[in-house]
Amino acid sequence: MFGYKHIRGIHIDGVCIDEQEGLKLVSNNEGKDEEVNVICRLTLEADMRSLAKLMESSMKLGMGPIGSKGRMIEYLLCIDEIFMNSITHGYRNQGGKIDVKYILNDNYLIIRIRDYGKGISKSLEDGNIELNENLLTERGRGLFIVKNLCDKLSVKSHGDLGTEVSIYFKRGDST
């Protein structure tokens, strides 16, 4: 379905560090609080190559918990949009690091995407994400789409220290 390139060396249930590809995946049982539920961590460069890797790993990790094909597309689109926001708005295409965590609890698969670039406007933190009044404007829909596709969205601005976005998808595999 998605044409993103295959990634070598990913083992979702184990520990895999693929330095050649610049990709780090760590399965986790060591954290605290919700960290206990972290099933995968990625540290990625803020570039298109990493986006392709992210989509591939998201596909693998989401397939079970998300459930339906339609929901999978929405889940991948949300990740796609937020990661691109980090590349283009957070780092203004100048590069940087982006940390991604996949957290699985009883109810949700949560994807937490953290960059260390220019933080998003504080006004967007409380879910106050609206469409531009001019519907024909060419930009500024990504976050609004994400807010409307996922089950819950949390946006935290760290000012000059970046932005953390958590996208929640209800599990389709737990009834």
Partner 1 sequence: MNVQSFTNNNIKIVRISGEVNFENYNKFRDDLLKHITGERPKILLDMEELSYLNSMGLSAILKAYSKAKKEKGELRLCRLQSHIKKLFSITKLNEVIIIYDGLEEAIKEFTKK
Considering only residues 113 to 132 of the shown chain, the ones binding partner 1 according to CB under 8 A are 131
What are the percentages of helix, strand and coil residues in the chain, rounded to 5? 35, 25, 40
- Strands 23-26 and 152-157, how do they pair? unpaired
Q: What 8-state DSSP symbol labels residue 19?
A: T
Q: Buried b / exposed e across 128-151, counting CB within 10 Å, b at 16+?
A: ebeeeeeeeeeeeebbeebbebbe
**Residue type (1 letter), 52:** A
Span near partner 1 by CB under 8 A; candidates 23-31, 66-74, 118-126, 167-175: 66-74
Q: Which residue has the tokens 């009044």?
A: 133
Considering only residues 142 to 171 of the shown chain, the ones binding partner 1 according to CB under 8 A are 142, 144-145, 148-149
CB of 37 or CB of 53, closer to partner 1? 53
> Shortest Cβ distance from residue 145 to partner 1 (Å)?
6
Span near partner 1 by CB under 8 A; candidates 93-101, 111-119, 138-146, 159-167: 138-146
Site string for partner 1, 22-61 (x = CB under 8 A): --------------------------x--xx---------
Considering only residues 79 to 108 of the shown chain, the ones binding partner 1 according to CB under 8 A are 80-81, 84
